Amino acid sequence: MDFHQLQQNFERIFQRKEEPRMFFAPGRINLIGEHTDYNGGHVFPASISFGTYALVLPREDRNLRFYSMNFPEVGVRSVSLDELDYKDSDQWTNYPKGMIKLWKENGSPTPFGADILYYGNIPNGAGLSSSASIELVTGVMLEGLYDTAMDRIQMIKLAQRVENEYIGVNSGIMDQFAIGMGKKDHAILLDCQSLTYEYAPIELDQHTIVIMNTNKRRELAGSKYNERRSECERALSDLQKKLSIQSLGDLTEEQFEAHKHFIQNDIDRKRAKHAIYENQRTIKALAELNAGNLEEFGALINASHRSLQQDYEVTGIELDTLVEAAWDQDGVLGARMTGAGFGGCAIAIVEKQLVSTFEKNVNETYQSKIGYVPTFYKASIHDGATELLNEGSL
């Protein structure tokens, strides 16, 4: 899909010939630091070249007309800027509606309506944050449409509230932050407690990042996700009876080992162990990467997967098969699931020259065990959400 095709679609759907403005927000992968964001720990994500495009033209009335090329069967949905409450029947448009509602409640202007066409090339249900991508592309689109700048961190927090309060998924801030603040060829080490962050160049020498989709949809992900969150919250409140800490991310491995018996429930203790060790692994991973110690960086990535499998229990047979098959290949520095888990995608850091052999072998192993094939994508690390000012950048 190129710029002209998107523009033609816009013209056909909305019957308008003026040239629309175009905005883009990427998806994300997370290199390491999984299920640590809502535990006050660190994450290490990067925004990718797959993402969501939004084309927009202003209207003279206060209506918003939405169309997604990914859901043509839904057709054009029309709502008023003054009636933006969540409705099941509004389907995918609840994401942009939620964003516009909170933009408005924030006191930002909404003087007129708009026609907006969305197109996303993030594989659906792959756990690469298509929903945060829609939220952020809507945010930058609103800035352009109404000629009003919003502080980027404020926009990121607004998008997280859309997810938490409007959609009802209790997710952390990682996805919106990675997509809002992404930088080409860099990952972001973010401390989710203080929101301090630093960019780290991703220099992998002879290696590249391969994204591997299990093609298992992340069903039940929402409810299991919220369950993990409550298990961690219970573990924290047990620990807080003895320790003065704000989040699990405040603890080192040694402090956890010395106090873990205060956590009443065995399951909660395992979940907390993952959150605390994973946070420390993430901090170490940045140090290893900066020092050019790629083997050690890869070993931390592998350890992250094991911990998500054994202690956090969010992997499942599909992700484990994919990651273990990746570990068995030549030229692989490390591999792990990425995102919430329960299906979705994994990443592997693979020697460039061996990528096609890698894909062939992993494909075979996965298909013979799972019964269908995975999909592989090459990830390039992209800038965060922005207006696209020239069509060459599509």
Per the DSSP assignment, residues forming a β-bridge with 199 are 188
Strands 345-351 and 207-213: antiparallel
Nearer to ligand GLA, 186 or 274 (CB): 274
- CB 45 to ligand GLA: min, Å: 9
Binding part of the chain for ligand GLA, among 6-14, 78-86, 118-126, 168-176 by CB under 6 A, reads 168-176
- CB 174 to ligand GLA: min, Å: 4
Do 260 and 269 contact (CB within 8 A), yes or no?
Answer: yes
Amino acid identity of 203?
A: E
Nearer to ligand GLA, 10 or 38 (CB): 38
Nearer to ligand GLA, 29 or 81 (CB): 29
Catalytic-role residue among 37, 115, 175, 320: 175
Binding part of the chain for ligand GLA, among 56-64, 171-179, 194-202, 382-390 by CB under 6 A, reads 171-179
Element (H or E) spanning 199, and its range?
Answer: strand 197-201
Binding part of the chain for ligand GLA, among 6-14, 166-174, 352-360, 374-382 by CB under 6 A, reads 166-174
Binding part of the chain for ligand GLA, among 32-40, 90-98, 232-240, 242-250 by CB under 6 A, reads 32-40
Residue from the set 14, 34, 333, 384 that interacts with ligand GLA by CB under 6 A: 34
Q: Does 35 bind ligand GLA (CB under 6 A)?
A: yes
Element (H or E) spanning 201, and its range?
Answer: strand 197-201
Residue from the set 41, 339, 374, 384 that interacts with ligand GLA by CB under 6 A: 339
Nearer to ligand GLA, 207 or 229 (CB): 229
Amino acid identity of 353?
A: Q
Q: Does 38 bind ligand GLA (CB under 6 A)?
A: yes
Considering Cα of 35, then 37, then 42, then 46, what sign does the dihedral take? positive
Element (H or E) spanning 365, and its range?
Answer: helix 355-370
Angle (nearest 5°) at CA 389 between 385 and 392? 100
Distance of CA 67 to the CA centre of its chain: 23
* 175 flagged as catalytic: yes
Do 32 and 283 contact (CB within 8 A), yes or no?
Answer: no
Q: Does 311 bind ligand GLA (CB under 6 A)?
A: no
- CB 198 to ligand GLA: min, Å: 19
Nearer to ligand GLA, 136 or 340 (CB): 340
- Which residues are within 8 A (CB) of 134 and not within 5 positions of it... i.e. 6 or more apart? 25, 52, 92, 95, 96, 99, 118, 120
Do 142 and 158 contact (CB within 8 A), yes or no?
Answer: no
Q: How far apart are CA 7 and CA 16, in angstroms?
A: 10
- CB 196 to ligand GLA: min, Å: 18
Number of residues that bind ligand GLA (CB under 6 A): 10
Total number of residues shown for the chain: 394
Residue from the set 126, 174, 188, 202 that interacts with ligand GLA by CB under 6 A: 174
- CB 104 to ligand GLA: min, Å: 24
Q: What does each C-alpha distance from 180 to 143, 209, 310 come to in angstroms?
A: 13, 21, 32
Amino acid identity of 192?
A: C
Q: Does 191 bind ligand GLA (CB under 6 A)?
A: no
Burial class (CB in 10 A: 0-12, 13-18, 19+), 168: exposed
Q: Does 161 bind ligand GLA (CB under 6 A)?
A: no
Residue from the set 115, 135, 175, 268 that interacts with ligand GLA by CB under 6 A: 175
Q: Does 51 bind ligand GLA (CB under 6 A)?
A: no
Amino acid identity of 178?
A: A
Q: Does 340 bind ligand GLA (CB under 6 A)?
A: yes
Do 189 and 178 contact (CB within 8 A), yes or no?
Answer: no
Residue from the set 26, 37, 304, 321 that interacts with ligand GLA by CB under 6 A: 37
Burial class (CB in 10 A: 0-12, 13-18, 19+), 384: buried
Binding part of the chain for ligand GLA, among 31-39, 97-105, 206-214, 265-273 by CB under 6 A, reads 31-39
Footprint on this chain of ligand GLA (rule: CB under 6 A): 34-35, 37-38, 171-172, 174-175, 339-340
Q: Any idea which residues carry the catalytic annotation?
A: 175
